[in-house]
Amino acid sequence: MPNTPFDFLLNGFANPLDTLLGATEVYRGDDKVVIRVDMPGVDPGAIDISVANGKLSIMAEREPFEADGLQRVPRGLTGAPGSYRYDFPVGHGVDTEAVGASYDAGVLTVTLPVSEKAKSRKVPVISGEKAEPEKAASRSRRDAS
């Protein structure tokens, strides 16, 4: 599916480290793109998603686990407390009014639908007298006079 409204998204992650760590997944279909972002331990109410100026931004904060007498042992970045921030370029083909999101089992799923105007459509080819219906109708009226 080359040259779709979402090629820019699949070819231009804002943060290459996100891709390297497997923290984001992008899926493309004919009518939408789905972005899945691993955000374990994040309160869904603390996730901020916005679409503005050609950019989809996802921000969230993961609070540290606190328990008396326990100290976190660093083991990579996944699940670490701190801020999440992801930025994705969004083209004109996205229906920004219909972007949706859900959060389940530590994974945020954002759906970006293709606007009806941007979807590919088949253009019929007509020939002969039918090729110029307005001129043909105009000619018929003139001939009838």
**65 in any annotated domain:** yes
Q: How many domains does the chain have?
A: 1
**If pLDDT is split at 50, 70 and 90, which confidence band does 145 have?**
low
Residue-wise pLDDT for 128-137, tens only, equals 776 665 554 5
For residue 25, is it within any domain? yes
Residue 111 inside a domain? The answer is: yes
- What is the domain range of residue 44? 7-116
Any domain includes 131:
no
**Residue 139 in domain:** no
Residue 65 has pLDDT above 60, yes or no: yes
Q: Kindly report, residue by residue over 96-144, the tens digit of the pLDDT.
A: 889 999 999 999 999 999 887 766 778 889 887 766 655 545 555 555 5
**Residue 140 β-bridge partners:** none
Question: Strand 100-104's sheet: what is its strand order?
Answer: 24-28, 32-38, 107-113, 100-104
Write the CATH number for 24.
2.60.40.790
**Residue recorded with tokens 């493309």:** 28
DSSP β-bridge partners for residue 52 = 55
| pLDDT score, position 20 | 36
User: Which residues have a Cβ under 8 Å from the Cβ of 40 and sit 6 or more positions away?
Assistant: 62, 78, 79, 106
What pLDDT, on the 0 to 100 scale, is given for residue 73? Answer: 74
Confidence (pLDDT) at 134 = 57
Per residue in 35-44, pLDDT (tens digit) is 999 988 889 9
- Report yes or no on whether pTM surpasses 0.75: no
Residue-wise pLDDT for 76-100, tens only, equals 655 566 788 888 888 878 888 899 9
The reply to whether 76 falls in a domain is yes
